[in-house]
Amino acid sequence: MLRESTVMLLNLPSPPRSDVCRDWAGGFGTAMPAKRRDEYGHSSDPFFYPFFAYASAVLNGQNRDYTVLDGQKLKLNKHQVLKAVEKKNPDVVFSLIGLPSLNGDLNLLTAIKDTVPNATIVCVGTCCKVLQQEILGKRKVDVLSTSTYPYVSNLAFLLEALEQKQDLSKVPSVSYVKDGKILTSAEVSPQGLGSLVPPRYDELDLNGYECFRDYDGNRYRYIPVLGSKGCPYTCYYCPYPLGFGTTWSGRSPEDIVDEIEYLRSRGVEGLMFRDQSFPIDEKRAAKICDLMIDRKLDVAWSCEARVDHLSRRVLESMKKAGCKAIQLGVETGDEGLIREAKPQANLDIVRRAFRLTKEYYLCSMAHFIFGWPDETAETMKRTGKFVDELAPERVNWNFLTPYPGTRLQEIAKADNLILTYDWSKYTSHTVVMRTKWLSASQIYGMGKKIMRNHRRNELVKLLSSIDERPRLVLEELITTFKSVLP
């Protein structure tokens, strides 16, 4: 009888001088500079990856011996990672990888392979779907899982094939090297989220992960809950459809609330619905909220939503159920650009969405992007004015990034707009493509000026409301102070 493989689920630490979240940007990941750190590690409280909980459920269901190593949470350096892996000596390592951290991730995985040469290294993440040649052709990675988020639909099949030394062509959604050639097995129709084994947290430490803030500046440590996945809108620049699928699928409201109830029993104080748009189905969203209210689950939560999915009815239910914050993709303040970037939305719909969030005292985060192919100095100025008009509690500024496999990359290639294929610069906060009318330096310079002006204006407004929201004012002043430190 064949011995079952021992398995390690691995989240690598961030590479030197960069803090990465491998979950954002549709699973490609984003990165922020960490200038004070010259080795592997992580500089702040990290994101909890749903992959851990879903993979744990699959492995536990098969009674497999497995361990979880979160290098970001433990803030491990290279030596510590290698020592931890060597001690466990797993047969198979499933490792998350990201785009801006790709070179650092692959370097560390190569060192892991040298340390435990008999282990099979399997990478998971959206990069695996579009960069097979680059990943398999350069480093000591054995297999790529090209399944959609949360990357577990083929996990059991792959382990069985590895144990029985079967041809990997029979395993769906994998890429591997055979006889010097990179082969990719057939993709199967993505499983609906409800058909996956519910996530398992029993062996996972849920403490020490990142926080979100509410309207008054209170902080809540949170764990992501994946209630649905898939985005049918296929915006041409967005990597979500590539990583999460274009077909929407969701778990039952009862199953979701059971998970939340369990997390509350573990002392989790905050949640974030990882759905691409929590209220995409208003009746379903209301049902989830009603169940949370009926079970008296005192939990603070946040979510993402499209601006055209908000209504008073759904926000009323969300607020009663404990929603404190909401992230909204605005992208631009130019009417022409938003029609191109965000189908079925316009500036008036955006205005209405932000009026509603303020009406229900929800902390709104607005996502904006500079550097569209047709972006000009005037459209950037319009975006700056629009941000001031909306007055969101928080703003996430980004520069347009032509992620591999998106239609944007095809368009940008055809128009010769892409300036670099150095993936470490694909952070969403670095300019990697010009527009038809603006250079990289012009985009960056104007963008930073708009960001500074908005920040200054918001701080002035906040200081005038210190009696109403003292904690928020203090939080913003601390954030501003940290941002100017070298």
- CATH architecture, range 210-483: Alpha-Beta Barrel (3.20)
- pLDDT of res. 482: 59
Which pLDDT value is given to residue 456? 87
What tens digit of pLDDT does each residue of 163-176 get?
Answer: 999 999 999 999 99
- Cα angle 459, 349, 410 (rounded to 5 degrees) comes to 90
Query: Rounded to an integer, what distance in angstroms lies between the CA atom of residue 167 and that of residue 186?
Result: 13
Q: How confident is the model at residue 1 (pLDDT cuts 50, 70, 90)?
A: very low
Helix (H) or strand (E) run with residue 144 in it: strand 143-145
Q: Has residue 85 got a pLDDT over 90? A: yes
User: What was the pLDDT predicted at 190?
Assistant: 66
Q: With cut-offs at 50, 70 and 90, classify the pLDDT of residue 397.
A: very high
Residue entry with tokens 């409201």: 253
Residue ranges per domain, the chain? 7-193, 210-483
Distance separating alpha carbons of residues 110 and 24, to the nearest angstrom: 24
Residues β-bridged to residue 367: 329, 396
Digit-coded pLDDT (tens) for 456-473: 888 887 777 777 778 877
Where would I find the beta strands (DSSP E) of 146-278? 174-178, 181-184, 211-213, 219-225, 228-229, 249-250, 270-273
Do the bridges between strand 66-70 and strand 92-96 make them parallel or antiparallel, or are there none, so unpaired? unpaired
Determine how β-strand 300-305 pairs with β-strand 323-331: parallel
pLDDT at 476: 75
- Which pLDDT score is estimated for 481? 60
Radius of gyration of the chain (CA): 22
Query: Domain 7-193 in CATH: superfamily?
Result: Response regulator (3.40.50.2300)
pLDDT tens, residue by residue, 117-136: 999 999 999 999 999 999 99
Task: Kindly state the tokens that stand for 348.
Answer: 């008036």
Measure the CA–CA gap between 331 and 359, rounded to whole angstroms. Answer: 22
Distant-in-sequence, close-in-space partners of 249: CB < 8 Å, separation ≥ 6: 190, 191, 192, 193, 194, 228, 229, 230
- Average pLDDT, rounded, for the chain: 94
Residue 141: pLDDT over 80:
yes
